[in-house]
Amino acid sequence: DAKTTQPPSMDCAEGRAANLPCNHSTISGNEYVYWYRQIHSQGPQYIIHGLKNNETNEMASLIITEDRKSSTLILPHATLRDTAVYYCIVRVLITQGGSEKLVFGKGTKLTVNP
């Protein structure tokens, strides 16, 4: 299984951009990078995913390096409600054409400070 490495914790000032790094040096060519976040005692919330191009949606931007060995999740204007654990995950295909298995690490605890 491809693994990811994230810093255990990060701090960010409210209103500033939060840049969360992730290393996935063993990623395969057809594996997507997913980002989820989890607020305490709730289920993880999907944020964004990508294969090799940069992606943007209403929540965040995902920047993937050209060699695909690392990526960065960007929250452009962090708010206090963005305080959560952020998981960077590489999708592992279980069977041909079947469902993916998401292997979760411990993630990065992001604290947004007022």
Partner 1 sequence: DGGITQSPKYLFRKEGQNVTLSCEQNLNHDAMYWYRQDPGQGLRLIYYSQIVNDFQKGDIAEGYSVSREKKESFPLTVTSAQKNPTAFYLCASSIGGGNSPLHFGNGTRLTVT
Beta strand extents in 33-99 (DSSP E only): 33-38, 45-50, 55-56, 61-64, 70-75, 84-93
Closest distance between partner 1 and the C-beta of residue 114, in Å?
25
Nearest Cα neighbor of 12 from 100, 92, 101, 113 is 113
Neighbours of 75 (CB within 10 A): 21
Bridge-based pairing of strands 9-13 and 61-64 is unpaired
Q: Is 77 in the site for partner 1 (CB under 8 A)?
A: no
Instruction: Check residue 100 for interaction with partner 1 (CB under 8 A).
Output: yes
Nearer to partner 1, 22 or 107 (CB): 107
Residue 101 binds partner 1, judged by CB under 8 A: yes
29 near partner 1, rule: CB under 8 A: no
Binding of residue 41 to partner 1 (CB under 8 A): yes
Q: Are 3 and 103 in contact (CB under 8 A)?
A: yes
Residues 13, 17, 80, 94: which binds partner 1 (CB under 8 A)?
94
What is the binding site for partner 1 (CB under 8 A)?
Answer: 30, 32, 34, 41-46, 49, 51, 87, 91, 93-95, 97-107
